[in-house]
Amino acid sequence: MKLKLVTLLGMFIINANLLLADELIKANNDVSFYAGTFDIIDKEGDDQTSLIGLEHNNPNLFRNTLLGNFSPITGAFITGNSSLYFYTGVQGQYDVGPIKILPSFAPGYYEKGDGKDLGSILEFKSEIKLGFDIFENSKLSYSYSHISNNDWGDSNPGTDNQQITFSKNF
């Protein structure tokens, strides 16, 4: 059942990208690689581990709204305990001088692997990222995120994470 859900989610992400193929072909794509710590506030210390991930953002899909510039994001990470999280959502961008403030919200699929049980396969990630351009078309960022299921699952322990991100615009 879980394998079918992961396969279905993967097919959804691929199909969503194919639907946007014209935009993606002529777009400048922002690809981010990140590494950090999963469950940094774990009081027992048994669930805290490393994480690595990949995220895609297409700046050509930014939409100006009354609340700022927003664009879709899609990504995934894996922890040192084989937990997986696949997500897709929306990210804002606010420029304050050379600093970029990038809040985001993304629902996603969580598989606990040998790691922390977050209480549900449906989890929501809220993140705040602070970044700055280090080279032309490259950005270095620090982010802090919280993942929880909003009490929709059997339990809702949540997790707080921090990452260092390198983003390159192609």
Weakest mean pLDDT among 28-42, 58-72, 81-95, 114-128: 58-72
Write the pLDDT tens digit of every residue in 49-80: 999 999 998 777 767 777 778 999 999 999 99
Give the pLDDT band of residue 25 (cuts 50, 70, 90): very low
Domain boundaries, the chain: 2-169
- Please state, rounded to an integer, the average pLDDT across all residues of the chain: 85
Domain 2-169 has CATH 1.10.3720.10: no
Mapping DSSP onto H, E and C, the string for the chain reads CHHHHHHHHHHHHHHHHHHCHHHHHHCCCEEEEEEEEECCCCCCCCCCEEEEEEEEECHHHCEEECCEEEEEEEEEEEECCCCEEEEEEEEEEEEECCEEEEEEEEEEEEECCCCCCCCCCEEEEEEEEEEEEEECCEEEEEEEEEEECCCCCCCCCCEEEEEEEEEEEC
**Assigned token pair, 136:** 């032309």
Distance of CA 38 to the CA centre of its chain: 13
Give the pLDDT band of residue 121 (cuts 50, 70, 90): very high
The residues with which 124 forms a beta bridge, in sequence order, are: 107, 148
User: What is the percent of the chain with per-residue pLDDT over 90, rounded to a whole number?
Assistant: 62
Rounded mean pLDDT of 80-105? 94
Give the pLDDT band of residue 29 (cuts 50, 70, 90): confident
**Assigned token pair, 77:** 């990470």
